[in-house]
Amino acid sequence: MTTGTLENEFVPTWWLPEGHSQTLWRKFSPVEEVEHKRQRIELDDEDFIDIDWSSVVPKESQGDTIVFFLHGLCGCSRSPYILAMQSLLNAQGIASLAMNFRGCSGEMNRLARAYHSGVSEDVNEVFQKLSAEYPRHNFVFVGYSLGANVLLKWLGEMGSHPNIRKAVAVSTPFALEHCSQAMLKGISRVYGQYFVRQLVKDFRNKQQYLQSFRPEEAERIAMLGDTGNIASIWEFDDRITAPLHGFEGAQDYYRRCSSAAFLSAIETETLLIQSKNDPLIPPDSIPGSDRLSPSIHLQLTEHGGHVGFVSSNPRNWLEQRILNFLQL
């Protein structure tokens, strides 16, 4: 850990020794079911974001804490890593919610725009509306992968806030261009191809949905051209993400949205959990201590994969590590 003391060093279970197996096991292993209650947040641009609350209702007492989760690329509130953490919090009687980025809740959003690694404005708007609804509560934030990048960018932009106590970012793609390039090489290409197929399919389905609902928004997608030959995350970001969200191209998007540029400005006490054998995040993209603000702790493990961290003792190392840091 770069600041603070090392706690609970991660040791992988013997049958998941390297990064790919850790990553895939987390995604496909069974998890406990968590009952959700949905709340729709209407946004100022006439779109919406759905958040899913756990079954534990926020208490009325002053200073109680709500845990706010942000999922990764092609994820949602029912991603295994979020359900695992919410299950643990439910057992502790701690209220939590998972924010679904635009179009990720199982219902198409109303605009052509979607979500990306830098949509801190959406997190900010949802938080402002929730903090007005729960003015007596504190919030802590936990972001995973893309959601971790968005979280760190937002914290760096915002500075301090009296209702935000702590934050945790897991498997953050600090340098988006490096991570995009990593998914063009070796076995990591499999992850890139999976994400591209999902993203292109989602945009085609959205275009078809908007055609009868909001044809002018469907036309914005149609103007991007044929998406059938997009073969990489970089191409997707250059031809779809960037023009839809006001960037000049993939490089401009990566430069303006990579969380590494915002770390020195973060005032909220924040834990970064990162693995050296993450197949999606090259080790050289992990920032050195000179780029971290005094409020940031970095736990860099030898093993763990991408949002994996599957151990035998304890079985839920990642969840326990997060809970210990948050001190709920």
At 229, give phi and psi (nearest 5°): -100, 10
Per annotation, catalytic residue among 50, 237, 238, 278: 278
Does 145 qualify as catalytic in the annotation? Answer: yes
Let me know if 247 is exposed, middle or buried by CB neighbors in 10 A (0-12, 13-18, 19+).
buried
> Is 17 in contact with 326 (CB distance < 8 Å)?
no
Does 161 qualify as catalytic in the annotation? Answer: no
Residue 140's nearest CA partner among 327, 3, 6 is 327
Does 52 qualify as catalytic in the annotation? Answer: no
> Is 170 in contact with 143 (CB distance < 8 Å)?
yes
72: which strand partners?
A: none
- Looking up tokens 């987390």 gives 26
Cis ω before 314 (30° cut-off from 0): yes
* Cα–Cα dist 48/122, whole Å: 10
- Residue 187, both tokens: 């076995």
Per annotation, catalytic residue among 145, 171, 232, 259: 145
Per annotation, catalytic residue among 20, 117, 306, 311: 306
Q: State the catalytic residues.
A: 145, 278, 306
